[in-house]
Amino acid sequence: MMRKQAACIGGGVIGGGWIARFILNGWDVNVFDPQADARDKIEQVLENARRSLPALADVAMPEEGVIRYCDTLKQAVENALWIQESVPERLAVKHAVFKELQKYCKSDAIIGSSTSGFTPSQLQQNSANPSQIFVAHPFNPVYLLPLVEVVASADNCADLQQQALRILTELGMSPLLVRGEIAAHIADRLLEALWREALWLINDDLATTSEIDDAIRFGFGLRWAQMGLFETYRIAGGEAGMAHFMAQFGPALQWPWSKLTNVPALTDELIEKIASQSDQQSGAYSIRELERIRDDNLVGFMRVQKAHNWGVGKLLKAHDQQLQAVPAKPAAIILHAQPLIMYQGRVLPAWIDYNGHMNEAHYLTVLSAATDKFMLTVGVDEDYISGGGSYFTLETHIRHLAEAKLNQPLQITTQLISCDAKRMHLFHRLTDSSSGKLLATGEHLLLHMDLTSGKSCLASERVQAKLQSIFEYHALLDKPEGAGNAIGVK
């Protein structure tokens, strides 16, 4: 399958995050950034992204796309399906970039802007093709945080909006289509309100940067991370819900609790106060160390929600299902005396335990996947199972022979040791597919079941015939070393 082509214009913190999001989801990316240190900065972002984004998935990520650093804007955009602009937040600079890239890009290319404040109508001013340009405002780190605010103008057709939403969803993001053109969109307007109040608290010597951050991260920030604002307040209203909450706490909005109507003057004294408090709070860590701490914590929070199928966890599960959307196919039955290849893949980040290698549960995960592929190969597919027949595992014995490390290539070959009208006896060998090193073996005895009655029954004649044709050749093989083993204690 041909990979899709994106172009990223600007490779700073946000641009680098976009590059990582595209690359790790299998897109090729052309990059244009004339800054001398751009490549080094982008590679550092990619290093962090490769370390963290795959840890959110419970399935294999796509093969990584190819990054190409371009000397000209023309080289970067001429074949791109999606062009993401992430240049400095100055309207004149953005206009100049759009004017130049539209000379060379395809007329149906999508041009998204990472702007945090400008509206699409402002971005489209004096454009040769304003219908291409819209707002696609992400959040840092772009490769982990899924929210992207999508803002269109009257010049953007509905087809472009839908295509943009579909592509962003395929990238594992959660596009939020903003209902109208407003400065700073939605999220930054909310953040601006909190930021203004925080500046007043520091200006008036009522709190330090560390104390304000503690109020967020030990209090409402934890709630917001998984329920947002309105769902949190709905709970605060008790059984009576949101209406009761509004009746009880609404009058407080008239009290002079905050100073949201203005902002303290950013004097040298206030800036120095904030900077020195921030240095005291976080100066022990480099920015790169803080990024990795942030990423590890985000992965942890997001995986907890994934386990509960809640909030961002629902999105992560949906993306896993999207990555696995290609239906499994039966393996070709090669009728000669050798085991069948029933699984190929890599050790995923989510499978790594505190010892730094694949934990025992995921040895069983891949061995079970090999069993499922073997069942599919002999005819036990979705139609067969929906018809009321399947195999249940009666007994399993796994030998752990070597450590499997992160991203190690895996292959499982399967030998049919015996079979009859009700049973099949499988022996799997899990190896490193690059070296052939044996990592584990799994022996499994399965019994054919009637799913309606819950009792054992004969497999269909077609399934029995396929099993027998494989067994005739596998019976010529030597009995696998370790078959029939059990744990014995003298």
Q: What is the CATH number of the domain that holds 278?
A: 1.10.1040.10
The residue-averaged pLDDT of 4-9 equals 97
The domain tally of the chain equals 3
Q: What is the DSSP string of 83-134?
A: EEE---S-HHHHHHHHHHHTTTS-TT-EEEE--SS--HHHHTTT-S-GGGEE
Indicate whether 211 and 131 sit together in one domain: no
Q: What percent of the chain has pLDDT over 90?
A: 66
Indicate whether 347 and 447 sit together in one domain: yes
Indicate whether 167 and 54 sit together in one domain: yes
- The rounded Cα 151 to chain-centroid distance in angstroms is 23
Indicate whether 158 and 195 sit together in one domain: no
| Cα–Cα distance measured from residue 238 to residue 87, given in angstroms and rounded to the nearest whole number | 46
Indicate whether 10 and 157 sit together in one domain: yes
Indicate whether 444 pLDDT > 90: yes
Q: Structural domain of residue 75, as residue ranges?
A: 5-185
Q: Check: CB of residue 31 under 8 Å from CB of residue 290.
A: no
Q: For residue 31, with 0-12 CB atoms within 10 Å meaning exposed, 13-18 middle and 19 or more buried, which class applies?
A: buried
> Helices H, strands E: what count in the chain?
17, 14
pLDDT band at residue 333, thresholds of 50, 70 and 90?
A: low
Indicate whether 79 and 121 sit together in one domain: yes
pLDDT one-digit tens code per residue, 243-285:
877 788 777 767 767 767 677 888 889 889 888 888 888 888 8
pLDDT one-digit tens code per residue, 57-104:
888 788 899 999 999 999 999 999 999 999 999 999 999 999 999 999
- What CATH number is attached to the domain comprising 362? 3.10.129.10
Indicate whether 137 and 82 sit together in one domain: yes
User: Helix, strand or coil for residue 473?
Assistant: helix
pLDDT of residue 334: 63
Q: What percent of the chain has pLDDT over 70?
A: 96
Indicate whether 209 and 138 sit together in one domain: no
Q: Is residue 438 part of a domain?
A: yes
Indicate whether 172 and 244 sit together in one domain: no
pLDDT one-digit tens code per residue, 259-268:
676 778 888 8
The residue-averaged pLDDT of 171-177 equals 96
Tokens of 374: 């073997």
The residue-averaged pLDDT of 485-489 equals 73
Cis peptide before 141 (omega within 30 of 0): yes
Indicate whether 359 and 467 sit together in one domain: yes
Q: Is residue 333 part of a domain?
A: no
pLDDT of residue 248: 80
Q: Is residue 329 part of a domain?
A: no
Which of 161, 185, 209 delimits the end of a domain?
Answer: 185
Q: Is residue 380 part of a domain?
A: yes
Q: Is residue 316 part of a domain?
A: no
Which of 140, 168, 185 delimits the end of a domain?
Answer: 185
Q: Is residue 406 part of a domain?
A: yes
The residue-averaged pLDDT of 464-488 equals 91
Q: Check: CB of residue 150 under 8 Å from CB of residue 134.
A: yes
Indicate whether 129 pLDDT > 60: yes
Which of 145, 164, 185 delimits the end of a domain?
Answer: 185
| Cα–Cα distance measured from residue 131 to residue 256, given in angstroms and rounded to the nearest whole number | 45
Q: Is residue 102 part of a domain?
A: yes
Q: Check: CB of residue 277 under 8 Å from CB of residue 210.
A: yes
Indicate whether 106 and 202 sit together in one domain: no
Q: Is residue 297 part of a domain?
A: no
Indicate whether 390 and 401 sit together in one domain: yes
| Cα–Cα distance measured from residue 314 to residue 122, given in angstroms and rounded to the nearest whole number | 35
Indicate whether 489 pLDDT > 60: no
